[in-house]
Structure 1
Amino acid sequence: MHAFVTVGSTRFDTLVQRALSDSVIDVLRSKGYSKIVVQCGNSDFNTESYERCGDCWVRKGDEDIEVWRFKESLQEEYKQADLVISHAGSGTILDVLRMRKPLIVIPNETLLDNHQQELASALVNLGHLKASTVLGLPEAIRRLDPSSLIPFPPFVGSRFKEMLDDEMGFA
């Protein structure tokens, strides 16, 4: 199985470092994830245990752990993943939930107004995903039961028009 961790275009050093920690890698392995890919954006991480391999870094002695900064699109990574762990950015959340992939989000508490926490909490309450803190990530992975997640409803473009018409008094 394949786990994908992403911070999108942001910098989220603590999430990247935690995702690459032995405690997270060990729990992912214990849950059957053999391939672990981390998209780190502009985040810092300790490259000492990694070898540069083209556009990415591969963990020395474990070619199934790779880290890269950016790709044009994350869609292929989402498709391949059996689990996505992400910052709580709205674009990432929507993309992953629409693909019906299990998702654990970690709101970046350093962002102004904590909007990521609000979005994560609302979607947790609806049962679509799980949320965690950076420190709680190993336990969140351990406790995740993908079958308990409620599938996100498919996008229906006409619903937006109907809501807008109703709000504006055209209906």
Structure 2
Amino acid sequence: MLVFVTVGSTRFDALVQSVFSSSVLSSLSEKGYSNIVVQCGNSEFPYVHLLAQGEQSFQLEKDGVAIECWKFKPSLQVEYEEADLVISHAGSGTILDVLRMDKPLIVVPNPTLLDNHQEELASALEQLGHLKSSTTLQLARTIQDFDPSSLVKFPPFDGSKFQNLLDEEMGFI
């Protein structure tokens, strides 16, 4: 089974370092995940030197898990589609993309970002049952305890709601 990890367009050193830790890799392996693809952005982590040598990506095996890592791609659609689990920063665009695909999602808010807005979004969606939120320090435990079947399906996009709100606000209805 495949896990896709993404930090989006930001730098999130703590998440990438956590994913490469033996505790997280062991938790993933115990849950049956044997392959991880990591989109690391410009994050610093123990293997970043493999990318600094002009390579666009690298592969290695650690703690029985095959890992592929790269910085950026124009689109993450294929990775989302292929993943059995997505672990992500808590950016709104990433969250919506993954939830609309009905993929199990663990988010790790980046506390270094302005106003810690990712934490607010992650907490709200976790309370609704759509995803699981974690910290980098608790990620291994979160993976161990995570049951994707307990997630509540995210509702499909309904563009008419915005149109109705706008029409009402403008006095058209």
* TM-score where L is the length of structure 2: 0.92
SS in 2 for 1:91: helix
Q: Deviations over 1:90-143 (max 9, x none)?
A: 000000000000000010001111100111111011110000011000011111
Q: Report the counterpart of residue 57 of structure 1 in structure 2.
A: 58
The aligned length equals: 171
Matched with 1:47 is: 47
Contact 2:29 2:65 (8 Å CA) reproduced: no
**Unaligned ranges ≥5, structure 1:** none
Q: Take 2:83 and 2:153, find their aligned partners in 1: how far apart are those partners?
A: 16
| Structure 2: unaligned runs, 5 residues or longer | none
- TM-superposed CA distance for 1:167, in Å, is 3.0
C-alpha separation in 2, matches of 1:125 and 1:79: 25
Q: Do the aligned partners of 2:34 and 2:65 also contact (CA within 8 Å) in 1?
A: no
CA distance in 1, matches of 2:71, 2:49: 17
Aligned pairs for 1:53-132 within 5 A: 55-60=56-61, 64-132=66-134
2: distance between equivalents of 1:48 and 1:100? 31
**Which whole-Å CA distance do the structure 1 matches of 2:78 and 2:56 have between them?**
16
Whether contact under 8 Å (1:85, 1:103) holds in the other structure is yes
Normalising by structure 1, what TM-score?
0.93
SS at match of 1:47: coil
Hey, what's the Cα distance between the residues in 1 that align with 2:100 and 2:171?
A: 30
For residues 48 and 114 of structure 1, what CA distance do their matches in structure 2 show? 26
Match of 1:28 in 2: 28
1: CA distance, partners of 2:57 / 2:128: 36
Measured against aligned partners, the alpha-carbon deviations of 1:61-98 in whole angstroms (never above 9, x if no partner) come to 76821111001100100000000000000000000000
Aligned CA-pair RMSD: 2.0
Partner amino acid, structure 1, of 2:99: L
